[in-house]
């Protein structure tokens, strides 16, 4: 996919901004930021009340630190929590949060802060987008996946009987605060799953970042603080570029879904408990490479091996264990339900070479099944 907008070189010392004209916002990334949340957020709040939305675990671990930081800056904040986990990302939880908005007397000068992982951010953003037809929204991600992906870009929503993330709104935050020290307490498997999305950025957009990952994979896996901060910064820089050039995903932003069409099928087929999202995406990236090779899209024959080596070094699974012989056909059929399918044709994000992707509508079901087969364990 070609986009004329220039992609800036890495400059780790520079403050990141998502440049969306009057709706531009900063992404602050630094160790210890949580304790400075009040001073950093004050300029972005409307002077009204603040409702912090967190799951019960994040509320217990970090809620008091955030509230103290906000109150120290004179910000009138209250916290409301919900049960941790994807099953909470529902309209029923959103409705309870709107009740919390009412109880907090949140008016149009108010702000909702999504504090936690992707579920908190998606829910809080959706609540902010709808409450009084839209109030300010801030993202304070506490997981790697949220810091490098879901907290940036304004996608918010809930899961419904119709599917995951089919109901939602674009609601850009007014500010994103990412404190990488919070990742030190993350569950190791969850942390490693987030690394798949970090690797994704190197493959889809930035060969220099891919090379940095090859030089630093073990340091990143072991959560060495400078490596983690750099990976979060670079991932947010790349994500910010996609959001700037294509806020509503009419074109290049779809590249962020590299590995996701295969990954979503794996998650659904195996049951959402079997895989963490990033794990399924990592395996899906291998399958996307296989499909790209089969269709003659892949020009850099060395990319699959580089990607495999990094997945392995980052501690991610490389293969999917099928339950029975009919599974590849079922997986291929599931790709047709993907949000990116159009007019009955499934569209895949396929690599050409590091930093260059192609969006390809694929009708060849046998090729898709073979791509699934390429990473069966
Ligand atoms: N998570 C993909 C996107 O924000 O577009």
Report the distance separating Cα 212 and Cα 115, nearest Å: 30
Residue with tokens 């090729």: 367
Q: Are 212 and 310 in contact (CB under 8 A)?
A: no
Ligand 1: list residues with CB < 6 Å: 149, 153, 155, 249, 253, 256
Q: Best mutation site among 253, 254, 264, 357 for ligand 1, i.e. most ligand atoms within 8 A of its Cβ? A: 253
Q: What is the pLDDT along the chain (377 residues), one digit of tens a residue?
A: 666 678 877 887 778 999 999 999 999 999 999 999 999 999 999 889 999 999 999 999 999 999 999 999 999 999 999 999 999 999 999 999 999 999 999 999 999 999 999 999 999 999 999 999 999 999 999 999 999 999 999 999 999 988 888 899 999 999 999 999 999 989 999 999 999 999 999 999 999 999 999 999 999 999 999 999 999 999 999 999 999 999 999 999 999 999 999 999 999 898 878 999 999 999 999 999 999 999 999 999 999 999 999 999 999 999 999 989 999 999 999 988 766 666 667 899 999 999 999 999 999 999 999 999 999 98
* Residues annotated as catalytic (active site), given as ranges: 133, 155, 197, 239, 249, 253, 257, 260, 264, 277
Classify burial at 69, counting beta carbons within 10 Å of its beta carbon; exposed 0-12, middle 13-18, buried 19 or more: buried
> What's the gap in Å between 156 CA and the centre of ligand 1?
10
Q: Specify the pTM.
A: 0.95
Residue 83 token pair: 């049960």
> What's the gap in Å between 252 CA and the centre of ligand 1?
11
Q: Are 322 and 283 in contact (CB under 8 A)?
A: no
Report the distance separating Cα 137 and Cα 115, nearest Å: 11
Strands (E), 121-189: 136-141, 155-160, 163-170, 175-178
Q: Are 286 and 294 in contact (CB under 8 A)?
A: no
Give the number of other Cβ atoms within 10 Å of residue 290's Cβ.
22
**Quick one: how many helices (H) and strands (E) in the chain?**
13, 11
- The domains found in the chain, sorted by start residue, are 16-185 (3.40.50.1970), 188-373 (1.20.1090.10)
Sequence-ordered alpha helix ranges (H) in the chain: 37-41, 56-72, 91-103, 118-130, 144-145, 188-204, 207-221, 225-245, 260-270, 277-294, 303-313, 327-335, 365-373
> What's the gap in Å between 150 CA and the centre of ligand 1?
6
């Amino acid at each position: 996919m070609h986009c004329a907008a220039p992609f800036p070189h890495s400059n780790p010392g520079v403050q990141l901004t998502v440049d969306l004209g009057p709706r531009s916002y900063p992404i602050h990334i630094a160790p210890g930021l949580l304790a400075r949340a009040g001073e950093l957020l004050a300029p972005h709040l409307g002077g009204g009340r603040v409702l912090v939305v967190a799951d019960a675990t994040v509320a217990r671990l970090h809620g008091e630190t955030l509230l103290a930081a906000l109150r120290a800056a004179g910000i009138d904040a209250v916290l409301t929590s919900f049960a941790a986990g994807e099953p909470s990302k529902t309209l029923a939880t959103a409705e309870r949060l709107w009740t919390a908005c009412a109880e907090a007397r949140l008016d149009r000068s108010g702000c909702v802060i999504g504090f936690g992982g992707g579920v908190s951010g998606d829910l809080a953003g959706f609540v902010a987008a709808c409450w009084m037809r839209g109030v300010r929204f801030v993202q304070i991600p506490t997981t790697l996946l949220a810091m490098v992906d879901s907290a940036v870009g304004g996608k918010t929503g809930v899961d419904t009987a119709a599917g995951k993330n089919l109901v939602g709104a674009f609601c850009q935050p007014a500010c994103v605060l990412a404190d990488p020290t919070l990742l030190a307490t993350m569950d190791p498997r969850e942390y490693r799953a987030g690394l798949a999305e970090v690797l994704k950025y190197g493959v889809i957009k930035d060969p220099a970042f891919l090379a940095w990952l090859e030089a630093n994979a073990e340091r990143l896996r072991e959560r060495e603080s400078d490596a983690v901060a750099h990976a979060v910064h670079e991932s947010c820089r790349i994500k910010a570029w996609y959001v700037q050039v294509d806020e509503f995903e009419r074109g290049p932003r779809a590249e962020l879904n590299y590995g996701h069409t295969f990954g979503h099928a794996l998650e659904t087929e195996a049951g959402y408990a079997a895989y963490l999202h990033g794990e399924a995406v990592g395996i899906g990236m291998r399958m996307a490479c296989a499909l790209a090779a089969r269709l003659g899209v892949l020009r850099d024959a060395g990319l699959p091996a580089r990607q495999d080596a990094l997945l392995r070094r980052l501690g991610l699974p490389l293969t999917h264990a099928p339950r029975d012989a009919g599974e590849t056909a079922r997986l291929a059929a599931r790709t047709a339900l993907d949000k990116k399918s159009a007019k009955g044709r499934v569209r895949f994000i396929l690599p050409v070479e590091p930093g260059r992707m192609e969006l390809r509508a694929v009708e060849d079901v046998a090729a898709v099944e073979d791509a699934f087969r390429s990473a069966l364990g």
